[in-house]
Amino acid sequence: MLSNALLLSGSVALISGASSGIGAATARALAGHGAAVALVARRADRLDTLAAEIRSAGQVAEAFAADITSDGQAAALIARVTDRFGRLDTLVNAAGVMLIGPATDAPLSEWQRSIDLNVSALLGLTHAALPPLTQAAQTSPRKVSDIVNISSVAGRQAVGGAAVYSASKFAVTAFSEALRQELAQQHVRVSSVEPGAVATELTHHIRDGIREHSESWYASMETLQADDVADTIAYIVTRPRHVAINQILVRPTEQA
């Protein structure tokens, strides 16, 4: 029986949003289970630092700087990854933004950015990854592949002051479930992870006057850490072929 460190040996995992937060933590976790990890984000310097860290631990990592919201970037990225590694077994869509605030007077550009990254980029990357993921489920020793989409508790219960963010995460949850039904018989598992409050850079991008309130709310509790969500993702993708974890809601104990 394989040890935990080898459960993903020989597999390749692509993680978007890997320059920080949940994406970076997930890359470390999956590499620790033996996967070769393809690190994807716009910030090349951070990706290079993370790749060097993972390689220093004797694991396999490669940085792929890309803006997955740009037309054509998703397909080109998947081609680069499969050219480099020869396969793709796991896709973790962790890239996202949380641009919250009242709808009145909200910049329309924030709404568009939320849809572009949280929804459109996720759809584009998933679409491009389906052929190699389907092939991996047929040909890999594990005979299974995985898509893990990071949704949110806001994708389960709409929240005032976060209308478009909630809408984007509802879309992720719905897409994940519908795609799961389509791919189940091919052993391409599709999962959505719905975190509550996590200590990441998400709050840093909220506009002035709203960010302070959000940070105060985060400070009122012992939040999740990125590693907690990464552990959840690692649990999902290391299950045996016949076990699918379709949806997980994970919140800080203190979050009501």
Which residues have a catalytic role annotated? 165
Contact 54, 28 (CB under 8 A): yes
Query: Which tokens hold the place of 199?
Result: 């200590």
Residue 41 has phi, psi (to 5 degrees) of: -175, 175
Contact 177, 124 (CB under 8 A): no
Q: For residue 177, give the 3-state DSSP assignment.
A: helix
Q: Which residues contact 130 (CB under 8 A, 6 or more apart)?
A: 188
Distances (CA, A) of 150 to 17, 48, 85, 134, 154: 11, 23, 24, 20, 11
Query: Which tokens hold the place of 114?
Result: 């939320």
What count of residues does the chain have?
A: 256
Contact 209, 102 (CB under 8 A): no
Distances (CA, A) of 103 to 108, 161, 163, 165: 9, 7, 7, 11
Contact 128, 77 (CB under 8 A): yes
